[in-house]
Copies of this chain bind each other. A is one copy, B any other.
Amino acid sequence: MAEHVCAEIVPIFQQLNHDELLKVSDLVKHHHVSKGEVILSPDTPSQLVIIAQGAAKTYQLSANGKEQLLRVLDAGNFEGEKNLFGVGNDELYVEMLKNSTYCSIETKDFQQLLGTYPSIALKLLKSNAEKIDSLEKQNQLLNHDLVEQRLATYLLDLAKTNGSYQLTLPMKLKELASFLGTTPETISRKLKLFGQENLIKQNRHDIEITSPDGLSKIKDA
């Protein structure tokens, strides 16, 4: 894996331009390690690690001191994004499952970089703020107890984003169901219901909102 490929993978770096990405890539260190080696723990420096070749497991120690497997990292997976911002998860361990190579960026190097190139910090602040925004939105969605409310909220939101009451569901019902915390069947039924109440006209995934006010009322019920 070439140097600059490590950082590119990590979502937080994906809004950086070429030059900025190069600066980040300069911080990357490469390592060869053996099976069983622990590369991230309370005893290692705070860092982001990216598996280049091989595999690793991440686990934390549960309250009774037992090792609780969280997930397996294959080549291309990474762990510790938040470490770079100084948010530590003290109980997190990453241990190699085979002889592997990995890349790392240390928190202290990264923070120094941010001091030198504030434009990077600004972009990261922006993308984090966007992330908070969308998480808050989804939280709010899930806090509506009725599926009807969540679906109505979703449809109105989509209409606003589109700037039109003519809209097409951008994903399979199964996925939408998971997003709204329900099942495809229920969504299908609710859409039908909305149709019967003349709030929408529906043909498969194509939907026209005929009564935004009606939907709004349901949303806030």
One digit per residue, 1 when the CB lies within 8 angstroms of any chain B CB and 0 when it does not, for chain A 104-143 equals 0000000100111011011011101111110110110011
Which of A30-38, A80-88, A95-103, A199-207 forms part of the interface with chain B?
A: A80-88
Q: Which residues of B contact A85 (CB under 8 A)?
A: 122, 125-126, 128-129
A:134-173 near B, CB below 8 Å: 135-136, 138-139, 142-143, 145, 156, 159-160, 162-165
**Neighbour of A125 across the interface among B124, B131, B160, CB < 8 A:** B124
Q: Which residues of B contact A163 (CB under 8 A)?
A: 63
Alpha-carbon gap, A111 to B122, bound state (A)? 7
Q: Which residues of B contact A126 (CB under 8 A)?
A: 85-87
Q: Which residues of B contact A115 (CB under 8 A)?
A: 118-119, 122
Alpha-carbon gap, A65 to B158, bound state (A)? 15
Interface SS of chain A: helix
Asked whether B216 lies within 8 Å of A62 as measured between CB atoms, the reply is yes
Query: Is the C-beta of A45 less than 8 angstroms from some C-beta in chain B?
Result: no
**Neighbour of A139 across the interface among B63, B86, B135, CB < 8 A:** B135
Copies of this chain, tallied across the complex: 2
Query: Is the C-beta of A181 less than 8 angstroms from some C-beta in chain B?
Result: yes
Closest to A212 in B: B64
**Neighbour of A135 across the interface among B91, B132, B181, CB < 8 A:** B132
Alpha-carbon gap, A52 to B209, bound state (A)? 41
Question: Nearest Cβ in chain B — how far from A140, in angstroms?
Answer: 11
Q: Which residues of B contact A132 (CB under 8 A)?
A: 82, 128, 131-132, 135
Asked whether A129 lies within 8 Å of B128 as measured between CB atoms, the reply is yes
Question: Nearest Cβ in chain B — how far from A200, in angstroms?
Answer: 13
Q: Which residues of B contact A129 (CB under 8 A)?
A: 82, 85-87, 128
Q: Which residues of B contact A138 (CB under 8 A)?
A: 139
Which 4 pairs across A and B sit closest by C-beta, in order of nearness? A85-B129, A115-B118, A135-B135, A121-B121
Taking Cβ atoms with an 8 Å cutoff, the residues of A that contact B are 62-64, 68, 82, 85-87, 91, 111, 114-116, 118-119, 121-122, 124-126, 128-133, 135-136, 138-139, 142-143, 145, 156, 159-160, 162-165, 181, 209, 212-213, 216
